[in-house]
Amino acid sequence: MAKASRYIGELNGLCASLPNPELLINTIVLQESKDSSAIENIVTTQDELYKAAAEESTASHAAKEVLSYREALYAGLEKMQAQKNLLLTNTMVEIVQIIKQNKAGIRNTPGTALKNAINGEVIYTPPCCEEVLREKLASLERFINNPEASPLDPLIKMAFIHYQFEAIHPFADGNGKTGRIVNALYLVQQELLTQPILYLSSYIVKYKTEYYQLLRNVTEKNNWHDWIMYMLTALTETAQLSTKKIRNMLSLKEEIEKKMKQVLGSSFSYDLLQLMFTLPYLKIELLEKKEIAHRQTASIWLKKLTEADILKPQKIGRTTYFVNYKLMDVLSAD
């Protein structure tokens, strides 16, 4: 627990020191969205995702779902902060609706069961239906929002909350993703993070069998210990990973800024540099849309940056993207 706290503290300190935190955090949040969706086989490639982030209208179904996850995370954060920093059932409902892009609410028909994907064996049958689920969520709300009721370290509490939310399984679908967003919001509520940059899902994707098994062992064997240890290890490792990624992005940004100044001289644009680190797949129209440059200037810049090997062109269909490929390398490293 001490180790996990220390690394989360380091990550949070680093984020607080960033002049423009949204910038680099946006990419980490997208990574979390991608991995959290991958846990249930919604698989997008890194490239596909960042292309979609630059131009949503042509995105694949999976990429759109990943973008919805990010949207849900930020909407949930806003709602929590608007409600005196309380993490309430209505926020959880809003989160799942944005993830699923529908109006589904708390389950009100029986029949939901968690099954083994291979042999169909029922692993867990959550409680039913709406009235019962709302009562259980109300208890969970009290556990989350009332520190006197349960004076535990927030990291341990987060592990309890995640199991409990998944065991209640309040929705017909999207419970895993909603529960993982709740984790991030909870750490913000507890002021362990000022931004929701919890990147837990990269660990869960890597150790997915254990994730499922340990949730199950809490129900069947009351084995809280191993579940909590799993979550603490996940917190430690992913906080370290995020810190490393942010540091690498920062030094890459410095390096690219220097090079860009040489290549573009007096027409160097800081806005362009920022955009390259928010959306690593650039295209001319995007620079126009963001009002960074007119078409002709944009095209000259991107060409010069390509010649200097800062960006790499990639033609997809009729569109040429200019990829900040070094950033893509930093993002996919682990």
Name which of residues 10 to 69 contact Mg ion (CB under 5 A).
Answer: 40
Residue in 71, 173, 210, 226 binding Mg ion, rule: CB under 5 A: 173
Rank residues 219 and 248 by Cβ distance to ligand ADP and give the closer one: 219
Q: Could you give the CA distance from residue 1 to residue 116 in angstroms, rounded to a whole number?
A: 32
Cβ within 8 Å of residue 73, ≥6 positions away: 29, 32, 33, 95, 181, 184, 185, 196
Rank residues 39 and 286 by Cβ distance to Mg ion and give the closer one: 39
Neighbours of 324 (CB within 10 A): 26
The DSSP element (H or E) to which 137 belongs, if any, is helix 130-145
Min dist CB 201 to ligand ADP, Å, is 10
Min dist CB 126 to ligand ADP, Å, is 7
Cβ within 8 Å of residue 97, ≥6 positions away: 103, 104, 105
Rank residues 76 and 179 by Cβ distance to ligand ADP and give the closer one: 179
Rank residues 76 and 174 by Cβ distance to ligand ADP and give the closer one: 174
Min dist CB 42 to Mg ion, Å, is 9
Min dist CB 40 to ligand ADP, Å, is 3
Min dist CB 101 to ligand ADP, Å, is 13
Rank residues 169 and 326 by Cβ distance to Mg ion and give the closer one: 169
Positions touching ligand ADP (CB under 6 A) are: 39-40, 114, 123-124, 166-167, 173-177, 179, 212, 215-216, 219
DSSP string for 218-277: HHHH--HHHHHHHHHHHHHHHHHHHHHHHHHHHHHHHHHHHHHHHHHGGG--HHHHHHHH
Nearest residue to ligand ADP on Cβ basis: 176
Looking up tokens 């129900």, which residue turns up?
219
Question: Which residues of the shown chain bind Mg ion in the complex (CB under 5 A)?
Answer: 40, 173
